[in-house]
Structure 1
Amino acid sequence: MPADLAVIGLGHLGLPLAQAAVAAGVQTVGYDTDPRAYTELSAGRTPVEGPLTASDVRRMLSGGFRPTTDPAELGRVRTAVICAPTPLGADRTLDLTAVGDAARALAARLRPHTTVLLESAVPPGTTENYLLPLLEEGSGLRAGRDFHLACSPSRLDPGNRSHVYANTPKVIGGLTPACTESAAAFYGRLTDKVVRARGPREAEMTKVLETNFRHVNIALVNEMAVLCHDLGVDLWDVIRCAETKPFGFQPFRPGPGVGGHGAPVDPGYLPYNSRTPGHPLRMVSLAQEINGRMPQYVIQRCATLLNEHGKSVRGARVLLLGVTYKPDLADQEGSPAREIASRLMGMGAQIGYHDPHVLDWRVRELPVPRADSLYEAASSADLTVLLQHHRTYDLQGLAVKAQLLLDTRGATPAGAAHRL
């Protein structure tokens, strides 16, 4: 059965888009080459942690959503949105392999007058220099003349109940003005506001700016956390005071590291060197370095606290609370918890964990014991470390039960625990 929309890539980007489309009454088919994604979705389960629950998937299916592994479905839609993952590689560039695979699958079946949209996080220039040639060569059609092409980077904030798909503005940059308007007509069905960029590169760079803004400001406050601890200053009280300023300040808070799917992007490492100046964003590189050091700083604080209480890391029982990258979600993408656990294990500590959203956790390919009773585990552990503040945690009660508590999120009452 033909559909209005094909979402290509049923992961953290594609599933929320498909959910919003189905809710808006758009006949949607979801394409993914992973048989597991098809099996899980068809059975009413979510194939990835975080963005949707099983009940969300079941509502989508009852609303007409159809998952598929058949690429022939891509040739029967008016709009196709590429939501393929672009993980950060070892060379600090975004890996566009999945975007290329999605483009080739779509190009072989692309029909005239189709609107092709790119939501994946990509370096500036990707839509025109990478995606466009693949689509044109594979289809024999010309972008801007035979089919519409635009970029509209995803702006998802998993778990945010205030800013959902419908009330989060969508930035759109089309290859031509007609491409932009075609994309705007589609997204206008899903969201309250559409923001037109001058072109694809401006839309792509908007995502770079937004993501780097987050990482740079987290790096600043992480450095402030280390400085304030050394000076005996309560950083959390400093932030509380600073955020009362009604202009020129936006509060960020430190933590044990930076997780999530939005990797910082340095345009100095773009794959299109002949089309870019090649000057790295030094502030972004420095922010990555600072944020990357935070797990080791947490280890240092753990060792110091244990030592101050007459204990060594070797042989110490350490309980880690919250191993996900974000509160109240099961998603572990980029969470610093695994690195912290691995380093502590390497120092001879006995690691356990508790997380209401993660029932099984492995570090170094080894299962980590999960605490069934939080208070009992905290009272028997030499050190309890809060890495993620899930709302189910009663931190005041936990501070009473724990022998020693390190709060890396500043969530405990003042004086109840050692804070980052």
Structure 2
Amino acid sequence: MTVVSGQRPVGEIRTVAWDAAEQDLRALFGQSRVVFASLAGPEQVVESANPAFSAALGRDRAGIGVALGELVPGLVDQGVVAVLDEVYHTGESRTGRDVLVALGSGAQKRQAFFDFTYEPRRDDAGSVIGTRMIGVETTQVKQAQRLMAEQRALVEQIARQAPLADVLDGMARCIEDLALEQVLVSVLLADHDGKHLRHGAAPSLPDFYNEAIDGIATGEGVGSCGTAAHRREPVIVTDIGTDPFWDDFRELAGRAGLAACWSTPILARDGSLLGTFAMYHRSPRVPQDSDFALARVFADTASLAIERHHIEEAKAAAEARAEAARAELTQALRAESALRAEAEQRAEAAAELAARMRSAAAAQAAAPHPDRCQLGGPEKCTAAAELKIADSWGDSAWGCTSHVEEAILNVRSVFIASEELGGLAAYLNR
């Protein structure tokens, strides 16, 4: 892992990024090899071989003196040994294209494609005494063509702003399809606080497993993904059955049939955590350099998709807030307008009432002052008329104190009228 400290010029930063990308491409596509073996007799016994042949078999030595079919049983299943037998007996060369061969063993086992050329070996008399096998590995070429096509399709999806779930699901399926050995891909997304991981995509993992790990914490020893997210660096667990990071999840992984898990953190350009990208295997496995490179390539693709999604989410949230503010402002303006209209209506009503009262007061001023109370009703009242009362409709009457109080309590809009002091004021200040 490369640790970057301090600040670098932009050009130097770009150079570092380009160099890293070039290294990944070389790791993915720069490992094609040519294997050679010279075989003797009808049993196809290995007589000599180049180092690449030994490396392909995962052995220190090429198995000199051992029959090829016994040394690499997979070549029997693929029909390679049968073709060599035909070359030996006919003396005619043959070729084979895109032959899938299992190389290595145990955790180092992998599958690869080869183009083979099979030639007869002859003695001085021209008799066939054996065969030669020359194989050019084409795995990286085939992978490069498919990887570039898939990468281009994913980037186009991201540019079209396809839903993040669709992009991640498509990416996971792409890797699973590209891998020669069975691999199950999972993408987990970090919460905004970076403390938990949520399900993003895992098309080939069982639902019960995805549900169980949805929301796991990030931290040291929390499986491969929780630890990778915490450390901000890849965490490779080659055997889940024995690794302490999986103590709390070993039974769950066993039910899901998982034996190895390589997890790579997905980081934003500023170094913040976006999620994790994991590759699971059904049997214990040690990753090759090409596996690391593939993980980095697709982690970068996932980073691009997730960052684009976050940008779109932030943009949508900002637009929603702006729209809510506009709606709130519109509502406030409407409320203000309604209040202003209501105030104007009240002012008009008050002005109208004041005008009517002034008119009524003027009308009352002209009425004569009787001697006796006019508020006694049919039974009449012989008490002296002391106070004048009026209403806003212009009606008025004179009455004694008791009847005036009764009228004020029982008749709406009644007031004591006084030409000099304005009605009620005259009554209170008498």
Whichever structure has more strand as a proportion of its residues is: 2
Per the normalisation by structure 2, the TM-score is: 0.19
Q: Which protein has greater RCO, CA pairs closer than 8 Å, 6+ apart?
A: 1
Per the normalisation by structure 1, the TM-score is: 0.19
